[in-house]
Structure formats: structure tokens, C-alpha cells
Amino acid sequence: MSPGKVFRFGPTPEHRANHLFVFLHGSGATAQSMIPIAFRFQGRFPSAALIVPNGFDPYGTDSDAQQWYSTRGLNDENRLARVAAILPRIEDLVRREQTNYGVPRERTVLIGYSQGGTVALETVKALRGLAGAVVAYCARFARLPQPGARFDARIHLVHGAWDSVVSRVHAERAARVLAALHVPVTLDIISDLGHALSHEAVCRGSLRLLQGIYEGRRATLH
């Protein structure tokens, strides 16, 4: 499958698009790997339009697997620069779909797993006003937000307790830093889970998203 291919699924027939969910897969995977996750989110949000893009960069010699940015020689010194290099393409993708479906940024959600979660987190860190929430699974910031950083998005972190690829420590540190910046953030550590998306993890992420939307609405009622 070609890099950059996008799968689109509209809301259920009786609904107009009220939310836009953009799903970002992990390194070495494909957009198809996130489609079942996308449909499970739509089960809780039937008015959501689902956007499931393929990564921008081929992964190794596998003709189907993709990644968002190269992992060759990846380290803590160059990770942020590699993510930053693709953010204009992420922004173009999200804004195009917002226009297509007539959904504003506050009802746009980035949902990412592993490398896709890192892209989602860095997107809302760098591009304020693009999305209203992030659900990041088994992910980390390329670089933790600095003091004084401002976010326009709620952040929901879901991580496996036994993740040996991206340590839960990254999620725990991110949650502390975001809370200190007064960013609405939740952290769920799923017991007996490694670096994977389980039924429980997906349900927890969609539940936190639903709770965050409800809390946001309640805050506007006087």
C-alpha cells in the first residue's frame, strides 16, 4: 500500500459528522491495522467521521509496512527533529479533513498508537488550535513540554504496565509535566499489558475521551 493513502469512513447514516477522529498507526504497521480500533471508537461515538491514513515513509523492505518517520539511527537527540519534519504534512491532512467534513478543531481528536501516538502528542504541542484532544497509546513525547508551554487540547494517555518498547515511565513523566502546566490530562496504566492495543486499553481510551468531552460541555453550562 502506498505511503500517504487515506481511508475514510463517515458516521452512521442517521448522523451528520459531529466529530473527526484521525487514527495514526505504529511504526512498521499499516492503516488497516487501525481500522478495527477506529470502528470501536465509532461504536461509542456514532456521529464521528473516521480518518485512517497510512504512514508517510516505507518501513524496511516490507512492501506494505509504513512509518511516519524513519527509525533508522533514531535516538533522543534526533527524535524531535524527525517528528517536526512531518508536522506540516500532518497539519495539511487534518485541516483538509476538517474542511471536508465541516468539523471544527475542538471536535477533532488525534488517536495514535506507539509512533503514531508520539506524532499525535507532538502535533498538539507544536500546532495549537489544530485538535481538541489526543488519545495516545503506548506513546511518548519526542521531547517533554518545556515550562510555560501551552496546549489547547486534552490529553489521554493509556499505557501497558509491562511495555518494554516504550516504558510506562515516559507516560508517567508526561502526565506529571502536563498536570503542572494545567493541561487536562488522564493517565491509565493497564496491568498485564505490554506494548500492544488490548480490548481494555481501547475501551479505556474511548471512555476517557467521552468523559473529557462531557466535562468540557459541563464547564460551559451556567
- For residue 112, how many C-alpha atoms fall within 13 Å in the half-sphere facing its CB? 28
29: which DSSP letter? B
Helix, strand, coil percent values for the chain (each to nearest 5) = 40, 20, 40
Residue 96 counted as domain residue? yes
Number of domains within the chain: 1
Quick check: 115 and 86 in contact, CB under 8 A? no
Which one of the listed residues 114, 159, 170, 206 is annotated catalytic?
114
CB contact at 8 A, 56 and 86: yes
Pairwise CA distance, residues 59 & 69, whole Å = 9
Dist CA 39 CA 123 (whole Å):
23
Residue 38 within a domain: yes
Cell of 191: 496491568
pTM of the model: 0.94
pLDDT value of residue 62? 62
Q: Look up the domain containing 85 and give its range.
A: 6-219
Backbone angles phi, psi at 166, to 5 degrees: -125, 105
Spell out the residues 6+ positions from residue 210 whose beta carbon is closer than 8 angstroms to its own: 44, 45
1 located within any domain: no
CB-based contacts of 77: which residues, under 8 Å, 6+ apart? none
Q: What local confidence, expressed as pLDDT, does residue 202 receive?
A: 97
Contact assessment for residue 201 and residue 193, using Cβ atoms and an 8 Å cutoff: yes
- The answer to whether residue 73 sits within a structural domain is yes
Q: Is residue 188 part of a domain?
A: yes
Exposure string of 137-150, with b = 16+ CB inside 10 Å and e = fewer, is bbbbbbeebeeeee
What pLDDT is stored for residue 221 in this prediction? 37
- DSSP reduced 3-state for 126: helix
Determine whether 114 is an active site residue. Answer: yes
Q: Which three cell numbers stand for residue 69?
A: 518517520
pLDDT of residue 58: 86
Does residue 40 lie within any of the structural domains?
Answer: yes
Per-residue pLDDT of the chain (222 residues; tens, 9 = 90+): 565 689 999 987 777 899 999 999 999 999 999 999 999 999 999 999 999 999 998 887 766 899 999 999 999 999 999 999 999 999 999 999 999 999 999 999 999 999 999 999 999 999 999 999 999 999 999 999 999 999 999 999 999 999 999 999 999 999 999 999 999 999 999 999 999 999 999 999 999 999 998 776 554 333
Element (H, E) at 159: strand 154-160
| CATH code: domain of residue 88 | 3.40.50.1820
Quickly tell me which residue has 471508537 as its cell.
Answer: 41
The vertex-175 CA angle with 111 and 135, nearest 5°, equals 10
Domain annotation covers residue 209: yes
Spot the catalytic one: 19, 25, 27, 163. Answer: 163
The residue type of 99 is: T
